Every structure is written in C-alpha cells, then in structure tokens.
Amino acid sequence: MPDLLAVLRDALADRYAVERELGRGGMATVFLAEDLKHRRPVAIKVLHPELAAAVGADRFLREIEIAARLQHPHILPLYDSGTAGGFLYYVMPFVEGESLRDRLEREKQLPLEDTLRIAGEVAGALAYAHSHGVVHRDIKPENVMLSGGTAVVTDFGIARAVTAAGDARQLTQTGTVIGTPAYMSPEQATGSAEIDGRSDQYSLACVVYEMLVGEPPFTGPTPQAVMARHSLDAVSPPSIVRASIPDAVEDALLRALGKTPADRFSTTALFAEALARPSAATGPLRRSTRPALTARRVPRMVLAGGAVVILALVLWLAKVVTSGGRGGSAATEGALDPRHVAVLYFEDLSKDSSLGYLTDGLTETLISQLAGVRSLEVISRNGVAPYRATDLPRDSIARLLRAGTLVQGSVETVGTRLRVTVRLVDGTSGSDIRRQSFELARADVLVLRDSLAREAARFLRERLGEEIRVREELAGTRSVEAWTTLLEAERLRKRAERLLQHDDAEGAFAALQRADTLLAAAERADSRWVAPVLLEGRMAQRRARALQAHPQAAGPWITLGLQH
C-alpha cells in the first residue's frame, strides 16, 4: 500500500500543504495541513480504506453535505470533502487547545461548574443538529474539543454519513462499529434502525457521568461486554462516588441514562435544563430510598446470555428489595418481612414445554446467588419446590413460607429468541411490585457471566452501605452448549428421583441413562469443566442405592457394564 501521507500531498498539492499525521481513530487517520487559499491550519481526516470501500464515494459525499450545512458556535464546521488518490477525506478546522479526553486524563474528575458548562454547550450543539435531522452517533470525550474557554463538537455528521451511505452488512464485515462502546445507547449497541436524538442524549449523559465520577457508567473487559452492560446493568448513582453532586444533576443524569428512549428527556435541550436546575446535595443515602429514582433505574434489558439474565435479576431484585427495607423497621405490624424472599420456580411457557431445564436452572441459580446476600433471608429450593405450578394465591404461598417478597418468572420463545419475564410480588398483599421482561438469543455467549457477579457485589455493597457480596455462581464454562446440556441432565436426574419415589424404577433408570448421555455431551463440549463429572458421580451413587432397593432393575445396567 502506498504511503498515505505522500499520496495526500501529491493529490491535494493545489489546495492543501499536508504536514504530518496527527493520529488514528476508529474510522479515519488525521493529518495536519495548511489551507493554501485561506492561509489557515486545518485537519484532514481520511477514511480507512476498508471503510471507504464499504461506504462508496458518491453516497458518502452526498450524505456529508448535510453535515456541512450545520452552522452553530459549538459545532466544528466542515470545510471541504472529496476524494484524493482513491481515498475519501473531509476537512475541518484545526483547533488549538485540547480534547475533553485530554483534560479527563489529566484531572480525572472536573469541577461541577465546568462539567455543567461543557454539558450545556454540547447539549446546545446537539439540540441544534437534531432540529435539522442530524444525529451525531459518536458523542465521546475525544469528539469534544476545548478551546478558548468553550466546547465544540467535532466529527458532526460523519458517523451518520458513514451509516447512511454504507451497507450494514459490509460495514459489519470490515469490523467497523459506528459509535464507541463506553458511550453507546442501548438501542445503538443492539443495532436498532430507530436511532434519534435521544441516543445522543444518552451518550452525552455518559460523558457527563465520566466528568463527575472519573469513569463512564459502564466498563468491562471487552467492547461486547461494555455494550451488553448498557442494556443490562443498572447505573450506580454518581453521588456514591461524589457526594457533592446536587440532587437535580443526579436525577437528570439517571433519567437521561434510561434504557429505553421513551424514559429519557424528549429533547437534549430539556436534559440540559434539568442539569442546570438549582438544588441541594443530600448525598447518596437518602437518595437510595427515593421511589422515583428506583423506578427509573429498573431497566428493560436485552441480555447477552442465560447466566447474564440471572445476574441481572440479582442486581434488580436486591436493589428493589433492600432499598424498600431501609430507613425503618423491616416490616410493619402484621406484615411479612420484605427481606424474607422466596424465589418460586419459573414457569415454562413454550408451546412444547421444552424449556423446563432452563427455567429450573434460572430459578435455582437465582436462589443460590440471592442466598449469598447477607441482608436477605432466602427460602431454599427445597422450601419452594412444593409450590411449583400450584393454584394457591400468591399471598397464601407467601404466608406459608413467611416470605415478604416473592419472585415469580417465566420463560418463553419469541421467534428465534427467548423471553424471560420476572415479577417481584409483595407477599402480604400478593400484588405485583415490579414486572420486567428480558430477551436474549438462544446461542448468545455468556460474555458477562464472570464480570457481572463482581459488579453486582460492588453495586449492592454501595447501595446498602455495608459489606455485601453476591455469591458468584460461575458456571465454570464458557460453552453455552455445555452449560445448557448440564441443565437438561440435572432436570432428568430430578425426574428420576420423582419416579423412584413412585416405585417406577424402570422409568427412573431410563431417565438416568439419558442424563448420562447428556453429561457425556457436556464433557465433549468443554472437556475442562468438572461439573458434568461431579454430577455423573452423584448419579452413580444414587443409582447404586436405588439398585439395592430395586434389584429387579439391575439387568440393563449389568448388560451395559459388560459391553464396556
């Protein structure tokens, strides 16, 4: 490949004196140059070749014309665009100053006054662009320049031009992600075609959060993990880290960080107004009990896998239950204690009842994880098992279990995806407190399994003001096939136990044999995972005891042993 700097110098020699490379980003390489006609420094950004090939020159240049029409004091204008030596480029003013990223790396947290000023100026630029039908799609500290005491937004319309001009499949094949994971709205992270100004509002809220706290609201080991957390995780209130943040600022931030666009401000201008509203700073403890904020932070999620659903439910449930119990007695006279929790077995709503293994796995893992929260008293799986698929009213079940809070759930298929619905129920009245649905692809990798357990522990510890650790029920495997196959084997083991209780030894041993086959498949899917081997050992021990009680059923197993 020819030297890009040399190609640009030759191709643009009549208009620009290209001096040197300034840096490389996700979509372009930036060069410092001089505009020969106007004698002014400019920044020339050249799209990466693979991205330019996917986008196409004619369509990109047509789309970028829209961004070039934007004229606002806090928007860095587009001077020029075109092709040079086969490369797509666009030209912007060279800003003497620093980016917001540069300042954050130096100071980590900014003064509140500076934060609100920068947020207001960026919000004004966004509101203007949105009124002209342009969504930025890549608001981040790197795209906010600080010069002469003001903030200006760069690359306005570039992400839109690339998205509008390029074929989505081709862009995916190039590995190009439009946007930056740490600042992406949930709808942008999941590839939704319905992107409007409220997506930029969410990204700006992430930037404001970082200016106040020192890091974005969500971090993670991989870009995929970070993007999933935007859809999955509740936002830790910034006042936990910085108690001087005014209530109005925190309220505005948490609303702008709503998981669904409808829960945010209708315009970015309204978000800026809410940030600037005078208020006191009452600190995180009192705010943790405010019902309005609790309701806002209950997310509508798109999950990355089965174990991620479990961790999401842990976060959400522990937050709602424990925040409801603060600031007074655990329960009013005659009522059940809301910290006593019973997770009822989830219901399989699939048409062929084929998801029972998954409903059991979700239920039992959730019970195990919540049992690790010291401030909760969680009914064991054996305690709730008698109330599986019962017609008893929910408040009756709660009284029998002495549980002030019930968790009910269901799993069903929606096309090629799974939908998990969970209800948080007041045990005293039997009424729903919260209801949430989560959707996930069947084959999604459980990318957040390990990291989210740690994040859940951190969140609960901060919210309750005490040492709380959510027990990490790590499946010990990164193979979805191995994990789900083990769940199916475990369900067959339980069925065998029920059959033995009814003296159906033949049926029980047939179920155990099928479970053995599944465990062998789980071992093949992940040979380093010990859980299938441990379950095989438990089943072998149980089978031996059962054969002593039912010697007439030993024939098939003797035959099987002789074959080996």
Q: Specify whether 151 is located in the same domain as 234.
A: yes
pLDDT score for 170: 43
CATH number at residue 382: 3.40.50.10610
Percent of the chain whose pLDDT exceeds 90 = 24
pLDDT at residue 463 above 50?
no
Q: Specify whether 338 is located in the same domain as 259.
A: no
Per-residue pLDDT reduced to its tens digit, 83-116:
888 888 889 899 888 999 999 999 999 999 999 9
Q: 3-state class of 20 per DSSP?
A: strand
At 506, which helix (H) or strand (E)? helix 505-525
Domain of 63 in residue numbering reads as 4-296
pLDDT score for 457: 40
pLDDT at residue 53 above 60?
yes
Of these ranges, 386-395, 433-442, 550-559, the one predicted with the greatest mean pLDDT is 386-395
197 pLDDT band (50/70/90 cuts)?
A: very high
CATH number at residue 88: 1.10.510.10
Q: Specify whether 111 is located in the same domain as 95.
A: yes
pLDDT score for 332: 43
Q: Do the beta carbons of residue 320 and residue 313 sit within 8 Å?
A: no
Q: Residue 397 has which token pair?
A: 């079940």
| Element counts in the chain: helices (H) and strands (E) | 23, 15
- Residue 475 belongs to some domain of the structure: no
pLDDT score for 266: 93
pLDDT score for 172: 40
Which of 204, 458, 213, 187 is closest to 299 using CA atoms?
Answer: 187
Q: Specify whether 280 is located in the same domain as 376.
A: no
Q: Specify whether 410 is located in the same domain as 492.
A: no
pLDDT at residue 284 above 60?
no
Which of 459, 466, 477, 455 is closest to 522 using CA atoms?
Answer: 477
pLDDT score for 216: 94
Distances (CA, A) of 67 to 42, 60, 168, 169, 185: 17, 11, 20, 24, 21
pLDDT at residue 356 above 60?
yes
pLDDT score for 27: 80
Tokens 């020159």 sit on residue: 57
Q: Specify whether 285 is located in the same domain as 321.
A: no
Q: Specify whether 426 is located in the same domain as 513.
A: no
pLDDT score for 426: 76
Q: Specify whether 278 is located in the same domain as 356.
A: no
Active site residue ranges: 138
Q: 3-state class of 38 per DSSP?
A: coil
**Residue 289 CB-half CA count within 13 A:** 10
Q: Specify whether 226 is located in the same domain as 128.
A: yes
The sign of the CA dihedral 206, 211, 216, 217 is negative
Q: Specify whether 329 is located in the same domain as 260.
A: no
Q: Specify whether 257 is located in the same domain as 379.
A: no
Distances (CA, A) of 138 to 25, 227, 269, 402, 423: 12, 14, 18, 51, 36
Per-residue pLDDT reduced to its tens digit, 62-90:
777 877 888 899 998 888 888 888 888 88
- Residue 472 belongs to some domain of the structure: no
Percent of the chain whose pLDDT exceeds 70 = 75
Average pLDDT rounded to a whole number, residues 543-564: 56
Domain count, the chain: 3
- Residue 474 belongs to some domain of the structure: no
